[in-house]
Amino acid sequence: MCYLFDQLPTLYFAVLMLSHLLDHFIFSSRRFSTKSKAISFGILLFTVIFSWWWFKGVSFGITGPINDNKRLQWRKVSNVNIHTLIVHLADLLALTLFVFRLLN
């Protein structure tokens, strides 16, 4: 079961932190050229649009036979929490940007 009052602040925090880290390490950085920033933005935009498209059935509700939606089944037992996945991906990106910053 998904409790909105418990997970929504965490999701807001993850989204705000991710946008802050992207702005700080990529878009406000003097190391990257304008072209590199535009490429980074394009990749991020594609990722967001593709993620929305991939999970549109979850957002809008799945219709039709379940066999038509087999591509959404990641595991035999469907206990994957989308919120946890998003938070872990945001943490992984933050860690990657932190390590990148340390190495440069």
Q: Average pLDDT of each block of 10 consecutive residues along the chain (104 residues)?
A: 66 84 88 91 89 76 71 60 71 75 67
The confidence score (pLDDT) of residue 33 equals 92
pTM, 2 dp: 0.55
Q: H helices of 1-104, where?
A: 4-22, 34-54, 56-60, 82-103
**DSSP structural state of residue 24:** I
The confidence score (pLDDT) of residue 75 equals 58
Phi-psi region of 64 (alpha: psi -120 to 50; beta: other; left: phi over 0): left
**Domains in the chain: boundaries:** 4-64+80-103
Residue from 13, 4, 20 nearest 87 by CA: 13
Q: How far apart are CA 58 and CA 56, in angstroms?
A: 5
Provide CB contacts within 8 A for 86, sequence distance 6+: 11, 14
Q: How far apart are CA 78 and CA 72, in angstroms?
A: 10
